[in-house]
Amino acid sequence: MNRDAMLSNFSRLTMSIAMAFAVAACSPTAEPPAEPPLAGADIGGPFELVNKDGETVRWQDFDGQYRIVYFGFTYCPDICPNDVQRMSQGLRMFAESDPESAAQVQSIFISVDPERDTPEIVGEFAAAFSDDLIGLTGSPEQVKTAADNFRVFYSRGEDTPGGGYLVDHSAVVYLFGPSGEPLATLPTDMGAQAVAAELAKWVS
């Protein structure tokens, strides 16, 4: 077979694959529900943290509820407040279109700065965004265990004027299902509307 024939065979093959995909994508019926992007991922898992009232809160306390989980720190100058703002706003928008489903969702903020983020401070931070957002912190060991289980990285960053410091951290907004299974990440970088649309995909 010469090179041209091979190329032409190859392009016929690619064409038929492309057409098969096109047909599948256009088919209006019999589409199986898409698999959640994080299905089967080893993310999430046991933690024991402390809420604003100093009570112990465990991951399994949320069994039966969908959960939005974000790790950050209350002194964060920009990224955390933006993400938490958009995830809270997205959940409110979702609640306007589907209040029953939204009522099954609990959003949770977990501090990666346990040295400064006391239960009270985390509680105030959470309340500033939504009455329904739970703020959690804990001992450095408790926070480390939680972050490790959720594949969240954090470390002390640059000092800031006035004796403060930043905390470098992963900024991922996770959505989990009622059994604590990871489903998807919520695109806070694309705005609250995109967050609401993603919630509508997976929460029912």
- Residues forming the site for Ni ion (CB under 5 A): 72, 76, 79-80
Instruction: Provide, rounded to whole angstroms, the least separation between the CB of residue 155 and Ni ion.
Output: 12
> Distances in Å between the alpha carbon of 187 and those of 108, 110, 197?
16, 18, 10
Contact 66, 175 (CB under 8 A): yes
Cβ closer to Ni ion: 110 or 203? 110
Instruction: Provide, rounded to whole angstroms, the least separation between the CB of residue 202 and Ni ion.
Output: 25
Apex 173 CA angle, 33 and 57, nearest 5: 105
Instruction: Provide, rounded to whole angstroms, the least separation between the CB of residue 72 and Ni ion.
Output: 4
Cβ closer to Ni ion: 79 or 127? 79
Cβ closer to Ni ion: 37 or 81? 81
> Considering just the CA atoms, what is the radius of gyration of the chain in Å?
22
Cβ closer to Ni ion: 146 or 203? 146
Contact 51, 156 (CB under 8 A): no
Instruction: Provide, rounded to whole angstroms, the least separation between the CB of residue 56 and Ni ion.
Output: 25
